[in-house]
C-alpha cells in the first residue's frame, strides 16, 4: 500500500496535475490581491472626496428655506431649478439692502447673480466668497469696488464678470489673477488703465474683454496680446491708434474687434487682413478710406460691419458689397457717398440689417433693393425717401423694424407699409403723418409699435 501511494505521488500524471493546481492557486491569489488593492484605492479616493465615491454624483443639499424667504421678502428675484434650489438671484439696489446679502450663503446651487443700482457698495458682498458654484456675476451700474473683487478670489468656477460703470480700480483687478475659468470680463466705463491690464495678462482663459471708454493705450493692448482673445472692445478709447491695431492683427483667434472713435486709419488696416476668423468689425467715427477697406477683401468670414461716420466712398462700398457673408451693415453719416454710389447695396443678398440714416439714399436706389429678401431691420431716417419707395418696401416680407423718421413718406404710404406681415416696429417721427393715421395703424395692426417721437 505504501509503495502504491509513493508511485502515485511520483507519477507524471500526478505531477502535471499538481503543477496545474499551483498555477491556478497563484492566479487566484493575484486576482484577490488586485481586488483588495482596488478596494483600498476606492476607499482612499472616497476619503479624498469627503467620504464619497467620485463615480457617483454628489447630491446638492437643499437651500435654507429661511434664507430663501428672507431674500424674497426683501424684494430679491429668485429663479429655481427642478429640485427647487435657487440658481439665480437679481436685484436693483435703489436702497441699501446689504444686510440681506448674508442670506445668499444659504443658497447651495447659486450660479448667477445680477445686482445693479447706486445703493450697492462693497458692504455685504463678502458673502460672495461662500458661493463656490457661482459662474456669472453682474455688478454693473453700481458702486461695488475692489472689496467685491477680493471676495471673488476663490470662485474657481466663475466664467463671466460684468463690472461696467462700477467703482473697481487697477489694484482690485489683482484679485482676479487666480481665477482659472474666467472667460469674459466687462470693464466698460470704469477707471481701469494700462496698469490694470497688466493683471489681466495672467487670465489665460480670458477670451472676451470689454474696455470701452477706459483710459487704455496701445501699451495696454500689448500687455494682453498673449491672451487667446476672441473679442475685444476698445470703443471710445481715444488713445488707441494704428499701433494697437497692428498688435491685434497678430491675435489670430479674434472674431470681434470694436474700435469706434479711435485714432485708427488706413495705415493700421493692413493688420486686419490677417484676421481670417473676423466676424465683426466696428470702425465708427474712424478716418478709414477705400484704401483701408480694401484690406477686408479677402476676409470671407465678416458678418457685421459698423462703418458709420467713416470716410467710406464709392470704391470702399464696392469692396464691402462683395463680402459674401455680411448680414449687418451700418453706413450712416458716411457723407462721401453720393446717391449713385449706393447702388452696390443691391448685391448684398445676406443683409438682415441695413442702417443708412443721414445718407443720400433716395427712391432710385431704394427701388433696386427689392431683392434683399432677408432684410429684417431697415433704417432710412433723415433720407429723401418718399411714397415712391413704398411698392419696393412691400416686397421685403421679412421686415420687422422700419425707421422712416424724417423722410417724405405720407400717411397713405404708412397705411400701405402697415400691411407688411412681420412688421412690429415703425418709426414715423418728424414726418407729415396725421394723428388720425397713427390711431388707425394702432387700431388695425395689433402688436405694431408706432413710434411718434424721437
Q: Which DSSP letter does residue 271 get?
A: G
Domains of the chain by residue range: 64-183
d(CA 127, CA 107): 11
Would you call 355 helix, strand, or coil by DSSP? strand
> What local confidence, expressed as pLDDT, does residue 454 receive?
81
Pairing of strands 77-80, 86-92: antiparallel
| Cα distance between residue 49 and residue 41, in whole Å | 12
449 Cβ contact partners less than 8 Å away, ≥ 6 residues apart: 424, 425, 426
Closest of 228, 299, 227, 292 to residue 259, by C-alpha: 292
Contact criterion met (CB below 8 Å) for 112 and 87: yes
Low-confidence ranges of the chain (pLDDT < 50): 1-54
> Phi/psi at 451 (nearest 5 deg)?
-95, 120
Domain 64-183 carries which CATH code? Answer: 3.80.10.10
- pLDDT number for residue 334: 98
Strands 377-379, 353-355: pairing kind: parallel
pLDDT of the residue at 60: 86
Residue 378: its pLDDT value, please? 98
pLDDT of amino acid 58: 63
Residue 203 and residue 181: Cα distance in Å, rounded?
9
Residue identified by cell 429655481 is 80
**Tens of pLDDT, residues 388-428:** 999 999 999 999 999 999 999 999 999 999 999 999 999 99
pLDDT in tens, 181-237: 999 999 999 999 999 999 999 999 999 999 999 999 999 999 999 999 999 999 999
Torsion of CA 329, 332, 337, 343, to 10 degrees: 40
The predicted structure's pLDDT at residue 30: 40
Amino acid at each position: 500500500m505504501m509503495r502504491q501511494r509513493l508511485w502515485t505521488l511520483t507519477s507524471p500524471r500526478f505531477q502535471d496535475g499538481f503543477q496545474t493546481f499551483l498555477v491556478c492557486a497563484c492566479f487566484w491569489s493575484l486576482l484577490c490581491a488586485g481586488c483588495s488593492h482596488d478596494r483600498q484605492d476606492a476607499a482612499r479616493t472616497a476619503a479624498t472626496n469627503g467620504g464619497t465615491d467620485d463615480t457617483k454624483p454628489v447630491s446638492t443639499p437643499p437651500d435654507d428655506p429661511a434664507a430663501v424667504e428672507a431674500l424674497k421678502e426683501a424684494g430679491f428675484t429668485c429663479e429655481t431649478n427642478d429640485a427647487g434650489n435657487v440658481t439665480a438671484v437679481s436685484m436693483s439696489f435703489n436702497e441699501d439692502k446689504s444686510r440681506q446679502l448674508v442670506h445668499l450663503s444659504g443658497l447651495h446651487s447659486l450660479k448667477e447673480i445680477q445686482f445693479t443700482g447706486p445703493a450697492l457698495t462693497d458692504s455685504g458682498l463678502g458673502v460672495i466668497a461662500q458661493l463656490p458654484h457661482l459662474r456669472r456675476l453682474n455688478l454693473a451700474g453700481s458702486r461695488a469696488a475692489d472689496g467685491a473683487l477680493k471676495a471673488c478670489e476663490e470662485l474657481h468656477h466663475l466664467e463671466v464678470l460684468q463690472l461696467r460703470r462700477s467703482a473697481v480700480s487697477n489694484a482690485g483687478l489683482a484679485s482676479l489673477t487666480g481665477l482659472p475659468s474666467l472667460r469674459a470680463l466687462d470693464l466698460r466705463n470704469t477707471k481701469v488703465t494700462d496698469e490694470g491690464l497688466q493683471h489681466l495678462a495672467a487670465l489665460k482663459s480670458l477670451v472676451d474683454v470689454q474696455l470701452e471708454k477706459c483710459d487704455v493705450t496701445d501699451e495696454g493692448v500689448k500687455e494682453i496680446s498673449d491672451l487667446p482673445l476672441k473679442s475685444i472692445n476698445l470703443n471710445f478709447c481715444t488713445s488707441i491708434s494704428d499701433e494697437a491695431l497692428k498688435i491685434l492683427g497678430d491675435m489670430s483667434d479674434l472674431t470681434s474687434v470694436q474700435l469706434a472713435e479711435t485714432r485708427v486709419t488706413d495705415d493700421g488696416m493692413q493688420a486686419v487682413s490677417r484676421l481670417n476668423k473676423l466676424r465683426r468689425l466696428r470702425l465708427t467715427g474712424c478716418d478709414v478710406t477705400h484704401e483701408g477697406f480694401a484690406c477686408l477683401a479677402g476676409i470671407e468670414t465678416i458678418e457685421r460691419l459698423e462703418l458709420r461716420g467713416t470716410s467710406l466712398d464709392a470704391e470702399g462700398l464696392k469692396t464691402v458689397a462683395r463680402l459674401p457673408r455680411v448680414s449687418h451693415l451700418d453706413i450712416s453719416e458716411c457723407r462721401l457717398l453720393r446717391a449713385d454710389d449706393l447702388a452696390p447695396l443691391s448685391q448684398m443678398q445676406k443683409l438682415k440689417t441695413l442702417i443708412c440714416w443721414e445718407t443720400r439714399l433716395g427712391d432710385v436706389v431704394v427701388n433696386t433693393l427689392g431683392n434683399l429678401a432677408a432684410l429684417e431691420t431697415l433704417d432710412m431716417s433723415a433720407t429723401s425717401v418718399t411714397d415712391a419707395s413704398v411698392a419696393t418696401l412691400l416686397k421685403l416680407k421679412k421686415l420687422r423694424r422700419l425707421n422712416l423718421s424724417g423722410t417724405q413718406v405720407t400717411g397713405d404710404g404708412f397705411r400701405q407699409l402697415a400691411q407688411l406681415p412681420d412688421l412690429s416696429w415703425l418709426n414715423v417721427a418728424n414726418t407729415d403723418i396725421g394723428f388720425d393715421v397713427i390711431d388707425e395703424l394702432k387700431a388695425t395692426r395689433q402688436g405694431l409699435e408706432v413710434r411718434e417721437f424721437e
